[in-house]
């Protein structure tokens, strides 16, 4: 038991230093202990709010993640507003009023962002519609149940086969020649 612990010690040591190794390249832990609120409930709310607010200096980090000066100031403001009794939405509105919607990492759903939110669904819908129209048209032209490629269930392959002219059946001469070739091959 004791030897096991001794063996584990260097491993634990490594685990302990590993974050420090990362820290040399990644930004430091953003929320500093001195910024935290004494009330754990308020602090938890502050953390949640900080996660949805963009750091405008680094742009793709939230103020919760960022070590930038402005992010720190905003974190403190968020905590001051919460301590003053603001609701979560009131705090977020306070920041949005100064920095605009861009400060929200998740863009709000409203008139100006309709294309952003609905665009992908509209494009996917158009694609689906085009696919249905294409497949219906081609499977209707002869890719029916009797189709050699697999019939109506495999509409895609059926459609592809149907779009090519069907080859004519072999003539008697051709059949004889084929038999001869196969026989030669077998020898």
Partner 1 sequence: MSKRAIYLAPLSVFLLMAVYFAIGLTKDPKILPSALIDKPVPEFSLPPIDNGTPQGYGKGFSSADLKAGGISVVNVFASWCLPCRTEHPFVTKLAKMKVAKVYGLNFKDAPKYSLKWLKELGDPYDAIGADPKGRVGIDWGVYGIPETFIVDGAGKIRFKYVGPMNGDILENQILPVIEKLKR
Interacting residues toward partner 1 by CB under 8 A:
56-57, 59, 69-70, 73-74, 77, 96-102
Beta carbon of residue 32, minimum distance to partner 1 (angstroms, whole number): 16
Which residue, 23 or 123, is less far from partner 1 as judged by CB? Answer: 123
Query: How many angstroms separate the CA atoms of 52 and 110, rounded?
Result: 17
Q: How far is CA 50 from the centre of its chain?
A: 22
Q: For the CB of residue 61, give the shortest distance to partner 1 in the complex, in Å.
A: 13
Structure tokens at 35: 């910024």
150 neighbors 158 (Cβ within 8 angstroms):
yes
| Least gap, CB of 183 to partner 1 (angstroms) | 46
Q: Copy the structure tokens of residue 19.
A: 């974050």
* Of residues 100 and 152, the one with the C-beta less far from partner 1: 100
Q: Which two tokens stand for residue 30?
A: 């953003």
Nearer to partner 1, 45 or 54 (CB): 54
> Which of 160/180 has CB closer to partner 1?
160
DSSP secondary structure letter of residue 84? T
How many CB atoms within 10 Å of residue 157?
Answer: 14
The CB-of-70 to partner 1 minimum distance in angstroms stands at: 6
Q: Which residues pair with 77 in a beta bridge?
A: none
Q: Please say which residue, 36 or 99, places its beta carbon nearer to partner 1.
A: 99
> Rounded to an integer, what distance in angstroms lies between the CA atom of residue 162 and that of residue 114?
41
Distance (Å, rounded) from C-alpha 16 to C-alpha 12? 6
Residue 107 CB, shortest distance to partner 1, in Å, is 13
């Amino acid at each position: 038991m004791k030897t096991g612990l001794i063996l584990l010690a260097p491993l634990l040591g490594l685990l302990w230093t590993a974050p420090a190794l990362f820290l040399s390249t990644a930004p430091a832990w953003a929320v500093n202990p001195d910024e935290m609120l004494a009330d754990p409930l308020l602090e938890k709310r502050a953390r949640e709010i900080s996660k949805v607010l963009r750091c405008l200096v680094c742009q793709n980090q939230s103020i919760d993640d960022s070590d930038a000066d402005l992010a720190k100031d905003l974190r403190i403001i968020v905590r001051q507003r919460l301590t003053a009794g603001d609701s979560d939405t009131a705090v977020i509105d306070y920041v949005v009023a100064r920095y605009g919607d861009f400060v929200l990492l998740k863009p709000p759903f409203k008139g100006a962002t309709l294309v952003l939110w609905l665009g992908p669904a509209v494009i996917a819908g158009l694609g689906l519609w085009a696919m249905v129209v294409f497949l219906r048209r081609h499977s209707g032209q002869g890719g029916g149940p009797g189709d050699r490629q697999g019939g109506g269930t495999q509409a895609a392959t059926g459609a592809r086969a149907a779009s090519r002219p069907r080859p004519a059946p072999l003539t008697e001469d051709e059949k004889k020649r084929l038999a001869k070739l196969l026989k030669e091959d077998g020898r």
